[in-house]
Structure 1
Amino acid sequence: MGIEKITSKIMSEAETVAGSILSEADSGSDAIIAEAREKAEAVVSEARERGAADKVRTVNRREAVAAIDGRKLILARKQEMIAGCFDGAIGQLASMDKEKYVEFLAGIVKSTGSAGGELVFNEKDAAEIGPLLAEKLNRETEGGAFSVSDETESIRGGVLLKNGQVYVSGSIESLVDEVKGELTAEVAKVLFGE
């Protein structure tokens, strides 16, 4: 029985040591699992925070882009309205009362300092206004030698003065274009209070 006692003692000690090792392993594994859970929760929390921050940045970026696009649309619409005002002015000038229109065109031609040349109009004005303007200029200009040209131009109104191959534009479009740069700010102020 001596061997059995020794064997029993060894077995008992082995069971105690094994139990101790298992107990340590259990508590060690519990600690490892708890630490792993903490790390996982930290990673998930950090990812959520990053996601929330990314979401805020994305929303802010999209709002900024939308604001810029909105300002561009407003600016484009304002530019259309300003262009419409200048286009309306061209229409009003072209449809002036005949007497005033002839007077207006005579002033344009006289401002060139020329004493003669061919007066070029659009098709409508060539027939209706041309003879009246040529007669007025010839009467009021010393040595006046103005005539209505047989050629016409596709202008909305006004007159071109032709001397040989040289044309001096007095078209309403070119006259309005000349003052457009100076008047755009004033027109915007009237339209938009800017």
Structure 2
Amino acid sequence: MSIESITARILQEAKDEAEHLKKQAEAEKDTLLAKAAEEAEAVKKETAAKAVEDAKVLGERRNSVAELEARKLRLSAKQEMIDRSFEEAAAQLAGMPAAEYQAFLLGLVEPYRAEPGEILLNEKDHKAYGKALEEALKDSPLAVAEETVPIQGGMILRQGCVSLNASLEKLMETQKKQITAEIAGVLFS
């Protein structure tokens, strides 16, 4: 055998080995690419499932927030209606016929008639009922003050250092605290 034939044979064997290694690498590459594609598909499915779940949770949260806001708005509207009811009641009290309103004022004073003091009215009531109240209370140590107060109606009774706020606003506020639940039941049941 000659050197050229040995060299040609070694060269051929190297080419064959290189070809074999190349085919083996290609097969390994195809296997790795297929495995990577499978893993990518699994990650893609998992991500899509998580996105669907996240969207569902987000939707539920938004619905909960929207329901809470709706409840707040309904409650606010109900409270506004109750407030308006009390404002209307105070306006109706202030607008009673003169004889009834004077009796109402005297009824407020009655429990305190025996003690000296002064009755403070708003300007309108002072003009309309001041003299009549003085006349009705002439046998009492109570007097109608010349001073007026900025109230919607009713009166302030001052006896020494103590003042009793019997203004329509205060009377309505007191009643409101006591019967708001009952009114809500009547209005919204």
Please, what TM-score do these two structures have when normalized by structure 2?
A: 0.92
Letter in 2 for 1:57: V
Q: Does the aligned pair in 2 maintain the 1:159–1:170 contact within 8 Å?
A: yes
Structure 1 residue identity aligned to 2:51 = G
* Counterpart Cα distance in 1 of 2:55 and 2:32: 34
Q: State the one-letter code of the partner of 1:95.
A: G
Matches of 2:117 and 2:95, distance apart in 1: 25
Q: Which amino acid aligns with 1:49?
A: A
Supply the AA of the counterpart residue of 1:181. Answer: K
> 5+ unaligned residues in a row in structure 2: which ranges?
none
- The Cα shift of 1:113 comes to 4.6
One-letter amino acid of the counterpart of residue 79, structure 2: Q
Q: What one-letter code is carried by the residue in structure 1 that aligns with 2:100?
A: K
Alpha carbon RMSD of aligned pairs, Å?
1.7
Alpha-carbon separation, structure 2, partners of 1:134 and 1:93: 21
**In structure 1, C-alpha distance between the alignment counterparts of 2:71 and 2:112, rounded to whole Å:** 43
* Structure 2 CA distance for aligned equivalents of residues 113 and 131 of structure 1: 17
Larger CA deviation: 154-163 vs 164-173: 164-173
Q: Is the 8 A contact 1:120 1:153 kept in 2?
A: yes
Q: Does 1:161 pair with 2:157?
A: yes
Aligned length: 189
Q: Name the structure 2 match of 1:76.
A: 76
The residue aligned with 1:60 is 60
Cα deviation digits, residues 5-39 of structure 1 (max 9, x gap) = 32232222222211211111110000111111112
Q: In the alignment, is residue 146 of structure 1 matched against residue 130 of structure 2? A: no
Query: Is it true that 1:123 corresponds to 2:123 in the alignment?
Result: yes
Partner of 2:2: 2
Q: CA deviation at 1:120?
A: 0.8
